[in-house]
Structure formats: structure tokens, C-alpha cells
Structure 1
């Protein structure tokens, strides 16, 4: 259940009342302390790779080999991600316009991070587009074939492979539950979104999460800040993941033509009237 925020505070920038030990800082320190040890092993034998030297990775399309099981696990990851956001009072203290921007720009990297934390691996199956000869024989017009849309043509192999490569790097680091909690805060409060109305407050929250992560790594890994730098590089790389490819691969089979962005906002109770 989301923490209730007084009406007079909702949607206001809280930089003035922010303290060094904010609510976000406390939640990040406590999150998942009662959780059982997460599953971090993955099956390297199931890695899906394209032909070496292939220059047409963007044109090659893939779908899930076992969509029922994988889509169910992906949905569970998304629900856990939304639960994390809903239980952050600091998130609801920014204007709703900023909430909208933060969700739209950061749900995809948060989702991939959740997949890494839950150890969700998946196998792929490559599909081929109908050949020109087949279209002619079946009397299919170019317009009709284009109307099939990406929903019938899967996701880009290049984009999906990029995501799988990042998952493997996260698993190789054997990131702890607390590190994942700090990383979620860093990603959600992405101060790179310069259109934010309450940018200084969001920057402060992100810096807090980064500081907490650095202190934790320094304490647990004997001041090995190389790990800190490497992890920050990984989460920066998450911003390059194509959100459309994620939606197409994991959620199109169950959403149909529905838009995931709208569904996310409805679930978080921040859907504006004009949507």
C-alpha cells in the first residue's frame, strides 16, 4: 500500500524541507531486509546470439520461445517495480508532471534492473518476414503487410541482445539486494531529465542514493570503489535500452494493442485527465 501524503504536500517541491537523512534514504536502507536471498544464477548455455559479423541485426526479429512463462515472470517484475515506486513518499512529493516524466523515461531501465534482480533469463526464437515472392503469391499489398505492425514481427534482435548482455553483466557482479535498492533510487530520480519542474529536489534524491550506494560498497568491499564506478556505468547503459523493444517482447502478447505507458500511470494513480 502506498504511503499517504497530505493533500497540502502533494505535487509540491520539497527541497526546502529536505534533510540529510530523508525518507528516501531510510527506505533505501531498509528495503527488502526481510526478503529471502534472491536467485542470481543464470543459464549461460541458453544465450541467444546472432551470426558473427552480421550487419542486419536491426532487421532481424525475435519473439519469446516460451511466452506464457516468460511474460508471467516479466509481469511480476513490473508489479514489483511499481510497488517500489508507490512506496516512496519522496516520489509523490514532486509535481505530477514530473512524476509523469520520471515514469515515462525510466520505467524501462527500472524494469531491466528488476529482471536482473529476479534472475529472469529467457530464450528467443527468430522469426522471418514474408518474402516478396510470398507476398506476390498471396496477393498481399505493401500497405497491408505494413499494417501488420511490429506486434506481428517481434522485437529487434539487436535491441534484445543488448538487454541480455547487460543482464549477464549484472549477474556476473552478483549484486546484493541493498545495492539493487540503491540503484532503483538512482535510476528513478534521474536528474538527466532537465524538463523537470522540481529538478533540484530530484537531483538531491539521486545524489543521496548514489552516496548510500558508495558507502555500502566501501564498507562491504573494502573501499573497492572500482565496483561502484562499474555499477554506475552499467545503470547508465540501461538508459540505452529501447522501451518499445521491451514492450513488444514481454508485454505485447498479453496487452494486445493497449499502451503500457498508460497502464503504468493508471496503476500508480497518477493518470492525468487528458490521457
Structure 2
């Protein structure tokens, strides 16, 4: 089959504006199956412009609502940890701001939140603007967001697929969230030793649970911890751009998270 050429491989002797206005427009694509076509694979493409491709949610009105629910459940999980409140507020704020993104992705996995994407066609939007053509509702949704990195979003989707194929139970998710939240490696922590103790306790509890459930076989425990390492690649800005900018705009998500965390619990 004929492989799609990358835009950076095309050249035209005319001006940049001419190239933008006359570039062939590609149809919007669903995440699958085309993205898994051997000629359309990000992992094998190796093209320098792959990292510049941007995507938005195909159904933001549905997915953003589910994402907001997952984020609220994530904050509720933190609020229900008595040990968290033994830390000074500076450490609490640091942990939340630095760990909310991987916790959120774990929440997406636990709630089985899947989502479809569409790639932003920047040249076609610019063409309509320059030619003073009216934008459709779909164009306005795309234009309201800068879009998230396709490469980063694919990493997150790959992580979700691995967890969905692992049959993780609710208790395992809770222990994993504790391991993620209490990260003693964050610079600036005042009670680093206490945070480390809490993380070790979560790891020990997860190990004991896995040993009990799987006939003292710790292979699953080690494998799940290995999965958590991939969460370090989760980009908080990508998550904010994809799931929350369409509904929150330019709101500072870190500040919103802290306000929600310390909001009166009986109002949640």
C-alpha cells in the first residue's frame, strides 16, 4: 500500500503562504486503525515533525465530563488519607501539584475511560481564517485548543491498555496511588523521611496483598511496579491541554486542585 508522505518531505518553490493555502488537506482520522498501520506508525516513523502533530478529543463534551469526575475522585482519594494531613501544607501542595497527573491517569485506568482523538489540521484552519471563511462548530472546538502532543497522548493510551489488560483490582489501585502520591524524590520536601516511610508502607502492603492473592508469587508485584515507572513519562501539560482546557480555558489547574483539596468536604 502507498504510505502517506510526511508534510516535511514536500517542497514547493512558491512562498510559504502559497504552500499553506494550497497544501492538500488530509481527512480527519480516527485513532484506530490507521494509527496502527505499518506506514503510519509513530514508533517507526522517526520523522522530526512527528512530535509536532497535535490532537484533540473527538467528543470533548462527553470525555471532558468523565475526566472531571476522575479528577474529583482523585482529589477525594487524597482527602481521605489521614497520613496526608500529618504533613505540613507546603509538602501537601508540592505532592499534589507534582503527582496529580500520574494519579489522574491511574484514575482513567480504574474507571475505564477510553477516548477517541482527531488530529488538528492547522493549515486548513489557517486557510479559512486568511480567506475570511466562516468556521464550523467543529473548527471552533479545535481552534479553542492548541491541541495535545500526539506522541505524548499515545504513550498515555499505551499505558492505559497495559493496565486494562492486567485485571487490576480496586485495592491494588489504592496501593498504587499511595506509592505515586508519596514520592520522596520530589525536591523541596520538608518531611522527606516521613513521605518515604509512607511510600514504603504502600509498597509493602501491595506486596503482601499480591503474595496472598497469587500464592506467594511476587512476579505480579514486580511487574506492576515496573508499569508505574512508565507513568514518569506522563506529561501534566498534555493532560491539562487534552482534557481540561476545552472546558476550563486558561485556568491554572494547580491552583484549582489545591482549592478543591481544601474546600469544605461536606460541599463535595
TM-score (structure 1 length as normaliser): 0.73
Q: Is the 8 A contact 1:48 1:161 kept in 2?
A: no
Q: Which of 67, 71, 84 pairs up with 1:74?
A: 67
Q: Quick one: which of 78, 92, 103 aligns to 1:85?
A: 78
Once the two structures are TM-superposed, the CA of residue 133 in structure 1 deviates from its matched residue by 8.5
Structure 2 CA distance for partners of 1:220 and 1:136, relative to 1, 3 Å: closer
Q: List per-residue Cα deviations over 1:127-152 (Å, max 9, x = no partner).
A: 1222799499559xxxxxxxxxx953
Secondary structure, counterpart of 1:178 in structure 2: helix
Deviation per CA, 1:3-48, whole angstroms, max 9, x where unpaired?
Answer: xxxxxxxxxxxxxxxxxxxxxxxxxxxxxxxxxxxxxxxxxx9577
Confirm or deny that 1:49 pairs with 2:42.
Answer: no
Runs of 4+ in 1 over 6 A off after TM superposition: none
Pair 1:132–1:69, CA change in 2 (3 A): closer
Structure 2 unmatched ranges of 5 or more: 1-30, 133-142, 264-268
2:201 corresponds to: 208
Separation in 2, partners of 1:138, 1:257: 28
Task: Considering fraction of residues, name the structure with more helix.
Answer: 2
* 2:145/2:245 contact within 8 Å kept: no
1:66-215 to 2 correspondences below 5 Å:
66-130=59-123, 134=127, 137-138=130-131, 152-215=145-208
Do the aligned partners of residues 116 and 48 (structure 1) sit closer, same or farther apart at CA in structure 2, a change above 3 Å counting? farther
Residue 222, structure 1, aligned to residue 204, structure 2? no
Instruction: Kindly indicate whether the alpha-carbon contact (under 8 Å) linking 1:70 and 1:250 is maintained by their aligned counterparts in 2.
Output: yes
Q: Give the 3 Å change call, closer, same or farther, for CA 209–159 of structure 1 in structure 2.
A: same
Q: How much has 1:226 moved relative to structure 2? A: 1.6
Q: What is the CA–CA distance in structure 1 between the aligned matches of 2:129 and 2:106, rounded to whole Å? A: 44
1:107-137 per-residue CA deviation (whole Å, 9 max, x = no partner) reads 0000000000001110001112227994995
Q: Larger Rg: 1 or 2?
A: 2
Secondary structure of the residue aligned to 2:122 is coil
Structure 2 residue matching 1:58: 3-state secondary structure: helix
Distance in 2 of aligned mates of 1:49 and 1:208? 41
CA distance in 2: counterparts of 1:48 and 1:125, whole angstroms: 12
CA RMSD of aligned residues (A): 2.4
Where do 5+ consecutive residues of structure 1 fail to align? Answer: 1-44, 140-149, 271-275
The structure-2 alpha-carbon separation of the partners of 1:137 and 1:252, relative to structure 1 and needing over 3 Å to count, comes to closer
Cα distance in 2, alignment partners of residues 73 and 259 from structure 1: 20
Alignment match, 1:31: none
Superposition deviation, residue 153 in structure 1: 2.5
Question: What is the alpha-carbon distance in structure 2 between the residues aligned to residue 88 and residue 203 of structure 1?
Answer: 15
